[in-house]
Amino acid sequence: MTQTDKNKSGLRVIVHSFFVVPFLIAAFVVLVFFMWKLLTWEPRNAEDYLSDVKTGGATKRWQAAFELSKLLVNKEEIPESDRFVTEMLTTFKYAQYDPDERVKQYLIRAMGQTRNPAFSEVLINSLADANEGIVADVTYALGLIGGKDVEYILIEMAGHSSALVRNRATMGLGNMEGKNVSRILHILLHDSEANVKWSAAIALAKRGDDAGRDILLDLLNRSYLDKFVEVDSYEQSQAILVAINAASILNDPVLNEAIKKLGKDDKNMKIRNAAIKSLNQKI
């Protein structure tokens, strides 16, 4: 063996001893750790997230409240116990003093997702909050919960100075069936804010009222939505999908033709499928 071969052999030993072997050991440890985590992992429920909101650190609190609001979108995940309601109300009470308003904001959304009237009073009291975003979330949450008292409140909030609050109120009114609701929705078709007009037209269509037909026709047209630079491509697609569902209820020839065009030409496959499905249901 030459000196060069000896040097190469020695280098291989060094590389193997100081790099390869430690790397393999570390990789094995990581693999064992993740296998252990996988075997011991359990899905978190609403009570778990609520506990984190109460006892977690600054970052963990708002993240737990956010995850709770997402979880409760699924009706099967909503606890039915009185204890959960009490814990939620207590947690929200202390959230009033949390320096991170996201905690309060996501708890409001979570309460709305439960559709539980037990949260109506505390939400109504929160309408006095100075934060426009909080008021908007409360308005939307109340719209999900519903009730006669809520109907009157949403009608009042539909005249709010904030376009964001008016839009949430309009969306909530779309879930109501009171005699005054249609009258207010017709007024909102002429709101200065486009989002409010869109929500009013959709709400009326769901009631079988075609007063917002021209607005729905605009929403089914991408070139119209392109004029709103603040509406990104995802939001644009979502608006079209909602408009398709609402317009299909009216079964109007002009709207049907617009839906048919989307089914043939739209760049988004999800929208094309939704349009085709909507038209097939009418056959």
Of residues 108, 172, 184, 181, the one with CA closest to residue 144: 172
Q: Which tens digits make up the pLDDT trace of 46-97?
A: 899 999 998 888 889 999 999 999 999 999 999 989 999 999 999 999 999 9
User: Residue 45 corresponds to which tokens in the numbers above?
Assistant: 């429920």
The fraction of the chain above a pLDDT of 90, given in percent, is: 75
Q: Give the pTM.
A: 0.79
The conformation of residue 223, written as its DSSP 8-state character, comes to H
Four-point Cα dihedral 134, 140, 141, 142, nearest 10: 110
Position 282 scores a pLDDT of 64
CA dist 21 → 2, 24, 47, 217, 280 (Å)? 27, 5, 45, 67, 63
Predicted confidence (pLDDT) at residue 8 exceeds the cutoff of 80: no
Q: Which tens digits make up the pLDDT trace of 219-252?
A: 999 999 999 999 999 999 999 999 999 999 999 9
